[in-house]
Amino acid sequence: MSRAFVKEDDAGTPEEKVNLPVSEHPNLVTPAGLKMLQDKARQYEEERADLKSHDSELSAQSHLPRVEQEMRYWEERLRTAIPVDLAKQPRDKVAFGAVVTVEDEDGKRHDYQIVGEDEAEPQNGKVSYVSPLARALDGSEVGDTIVWKRPAGDQELEVVAIRYEA
């Protein structure tokens, strides 16, 4: 067998495991976010076990590294999770886990929930606590006007309601 394309340093060394990047921010999670982390970790564990049981199949062998990478990511996120008890959050100020109703300059109302990074789904109104919108809202009270600094231009929003869902 030709060894023309094999570096001497690589011969006989096991393949290095590449991990997905993990945020440097504290891994705050809502109760729903903690459940999501548990579900994701379990999902990739089960997928890995299934692929291992079909180890002789080429498709399983090629898919396994990506599944193991995902599994390591979700297990690390679960290990470092900091659950936030929403019942202990202030009711009169915006804080982690709050669902905030805001009114824009056109009189349109929007709801945003401030969640952990892995829970964020901006298209569904769930914004990461490290996002510019969440940072602008943090600590505000009903009646406050905040400025959301966006790439498309600054937008003023008035806080009209704050609530916490279980």
What average pLDDT does range 71-83 have in this prediction?
96
Contacts of 152 (CB under 8 A, 6+ apart): none
Least confident of 6-20, 23-37, 77-91, 94-108: 6-20
The pLDDT, as a whole number, for residue 13 is: 41
Whole-prediction pTM:
0.81
Residue 62: exposure state from Cβ atoms within 10 A (0-12, 13-18, ≥19): exposed
Encoded tokens for 105: 């300059």
C-alpha distances out from residue 16 to 7, 10, 13, 59, 149, Å: 15, 10, 9, 20, 41
Residue 4 has pLDDT above 90, yes or no: no
Q: Tell me which of 7-11, 20-24, 91-95, 162-166 is least confident.
A: 7-11
- The size of the chain, in residues, is 166
pLDDT at 14 over 50: no
The fraction of the chain above a pLDDT of 70, given in percent, is 86
Tokens at residue 22, please? 């993990």
- Per the DSSP assignment, residues forming a β-bridge with 121 are 126
In this structure, what are the phi and psi dihedrals at residue 56, rounded to the nearest 5 degrees? -80, -15
CA atoms in the 13 A half-sphere facing the CB of 27: 16
